[in-house]
Homo-oligomer: A and B are copies of this chain.
């Protein structure tokens, strides 16, 4: 696949030896520069695009991160930060002329504080390691991307990751209390902490979801939650995707916010059951997975209500988990849906778009038409409660033209999401994958204000360039546009 990226700077490439030596001075033994060893860093989980970095450095201290960024500034080198490399939109894709700054050695849990319901961790700690570290006290960390055993919390912050429990418990941004971040000039900022913090501008919010373009995260304070007294899963089978979608809308409309509310179409159900049987109704046209959590009394009431709604909406099967093992089995099919779909076709491309809930049936019908038009199959899993779709486009990269077709189909799906009032991404970020579609969603004024914010952090555009923004203006140019706004038409306004 070809991808338009900023042209590598020849001057940087010729100075590679010097740069490696300088980095070795800062992080002795922590620099990777042979092609063979760098190969593992050549892509993230969006495997469509591959690129070797200039050099990989794996710092262990904040001081080293700060020195690396200062070196990059002094030598005018680009930097791509990287967590576990599980991003699905190419956010941590290396650049040929950029240092790849790997945060994998920042892997310690620094503090657990149950009184203040938080944990202070380094960014390389995996998502599930946080929950494991606090589970003895009955706590957990709520956002749970499917890659949670591998993905790092730093990467979760950079991408504002979601998961099946985000409908009730929020995205990453709703679960972060504090950050330590190193700016491109080497300055270290500590933001927020254990307290409720509403002073000054919400920099934590800005950094969460910033896809590595604003700063390098070196510490994260997350909110942890007490595990609900009980949680039970309910599998609802429906004859069609439409009926399942209507049931989801009705559950929400009746004011029930389940811990999880997911949906899978027939193709995904079949793939999941073939991969590992988990009790899904094989004859159903769609499956709705509902998790209800809270006190025993509350969950009993909610299960009854959800079952009643499902029957009204034409459910053909209802199965309630009878114990924790069964609840986890219900989830296993959904959580393994991507590898399961991977197992039925040579390749798949996982998309991520969000739509207003009531557009679900319409979008699915149009997606079917597109699939027929492109001659490709698509399997669908959704965070249905959030309106967040994950169509998995099946293709065969060994067939000439198939990858390009898959990519074009994916872009059409995202444009469809925007057309019906949705957005280009739910939780996977923009990265390189959706970069060139940004102008479908945002106009020039929107993008310029976003760029001004980028300039407030990284005026020389050294951090993760080529990602997110279709084009980046020079910062000085943007501020000129802002101050002298002559281009806006206000003909009636008299001038001095």
1/0 contact string of A193-221 vs chain B (CB within 8 Å): 11111111111011011100010000000
1/0 contact string of A362-405 vs chain B (CB within 8 Å): 00000000000000000000000011100000000000000000
Chain B residues near A254: list those with CB within 8 A.
Answer: 226
Q: Cβ of A34 < 8 Å from any Cβ of B?
A: no
Q: Cβ of A40 < 8 Å from any Cβ of B?
A: no
From B70, B209, B300, B386, contact of A490 by CB (8 A): B70
Q: Which residue of B lies closest to A481 (CB)?
A: B185
Do A202 and B209 touch (CB < 8 A)? yes
Closest approach, in angstroms, between the C-beta of A453 and any C-beta of chain B?
Answer: 5
Closest approach, in angstroms, between the C-beta of A436 and any C-beta of chain B?
Answer: 14
Chain B residues near A187: list those with CB within 8 A.
Answer: 445, 449, 485, 488
Do A70 and B388 touch (CB < 8 A)? no
1/0 contact string of A7-29 vs chain B (CB within 8 Å): 00000000000000010011000
Q: Cβ of A188 < 8 Å from any Cβ of B?
A: yes
Bound form: Cα–Cα A438–B446 in Å: 31
Q: Which residue of B lies closest to A452 (CB)?
A: B456
Do B459 and A482 touch (CB < 8 A)? yes
Do B196 and A206 touch (CB < 8 A)? no
Chain B residues near A332: list those with CB within 8 A.
Answer: none
Comparing A144-152, A283-291, A349-357, the segment that makes contact with chain B is A349-357
Bound form: Cα–Cα A407–B139 in Å: 42
Q: Cβ of A450 < 8 Å from any Cβ of B?
A: yes
Q: Cβ of A430 < 8 Å from any Cβ of B?
A: yes
From B183, B186, B295, contact of A298 by CB (8 A): B295
Do B479 and A459 touch (CB < 8 A)? yes
Do A200 and B252 touch (CB < 8 A)? no
1/0 contact string of A462-496 vs chain B (CB within 8 Å): 00000010000001000100110100101011111
Do A208 and B202 touch (CB < 8 A)? yes
Do A493 and B249 touch (CB < 8 A)? no
From B73, B195, B446, contact of A485 by CB (8 A): B73
Q: Which residue of B lies closest to A115 (CB)?
A: B358
Do B115 and A203 touch (CB < 8 A)? no
Bound form: Cα–Cα A475–B453 in Å: 13
Chain B residues near A249: list those with CB within 8 A.
Answer: 115
Q: Which residue of B lies closest to A447 (CB)?
A: B200
Q: Which residue of B lies closest to A113 (CB)?
A: B356
From B70, B114, B138, B493, contact of A67 by CB (8 A): B493
Q: Which residue of B lies closest to A70 (CB)?
A: B490
1/0 contact string of A38-77 vs chain B (CB within 8 Å): 0000000000000000000000000000110011011100
Given contacts A187-B449, A485-B187, contact A196 B424 (CB under 8 A): no
Chain B residues near A388: list those with CB within 8 A.
Answer: 196
Task: Please count how many residues in chain A sit with their CB below 8 Å of the partner chain's CB atoms.
Answer: 104
From B67, B357, B438, contact of A115 by CB (8 A): B357
Bound form: Cα–Cα A495–B214 in Å: 25
Q: Cβ of A160 < 8 Å from any Cβ of B?
A: yes
Q: Cβ of A128 < 8 Å from any Cβ of B?
A: no
Do B173 and A203 touch (CB < 8 A)? no
Which of A187, A387, A429, A442 lies at the interface centre, i.e. has the most chain B CB atoms within 10 A of its CB? Answer: A187
Q: Cβ of A421 < 8 Å from any Cβ of B?
A: yes
Chain B residues near A208: list those with CB within 8 A.
Answer: 202
Do A494 and B25 touch (CB < 8 A)? yes
Bound form: Cα–Cα A295–B355 in Å: 30
**Contacting residues of chain A (276-317) with chain B, CB-CB under 8 angstroms:** 294-295, 297-298, 300-302
Closest approach, in angstroms, between the C-beta of A215 and any C-beta of chain B?
Answer: 9
Given contacts A200-B442, A255-B138, contact A479 B485 (CB under 8 A): no
Closest approach, in angstroms, between the C-beta of A387 and any C-beta of chain B?
Answer: 6
Chain B residues near A160: list those with CB within 8 A.
Answer: 198
Closest approach, in angstroms, between the C-beta of A92 and any C-beta of chain B?
Answer: 17
Q: Which 3 A-B pairs have the closest CB atoms?
A: A226-B255, A205-B205, A298-B298
Query: Footprint of B on A, CB under 8 Å?
Result: 22, 25-26, 66-67, 70-71, 73-75, 114-117, 138, 160, 162, 171, 173-174, 183-190, 193-203, 205-206, 208-210, 214, 226-227, 249, 252-255, 294-295, 297-298, 300-302, 354-358, 386-388, 421-427, 429-430, 438, 441-442, 445-446, 449-450, 452-457, 459-460, 468, 475, 479, 482-483, 485, 488, 490, 492-496
15 contacts between A and B (CB under 8 A): A70-B488, A73-B483, A115-B357, A185-B488, A189-B449, A194-B356, A194-B421, A195-B356, A197-B423, A199-B438, A202-B205, A202-B208, A205-B206, A294-B298, A295-B298
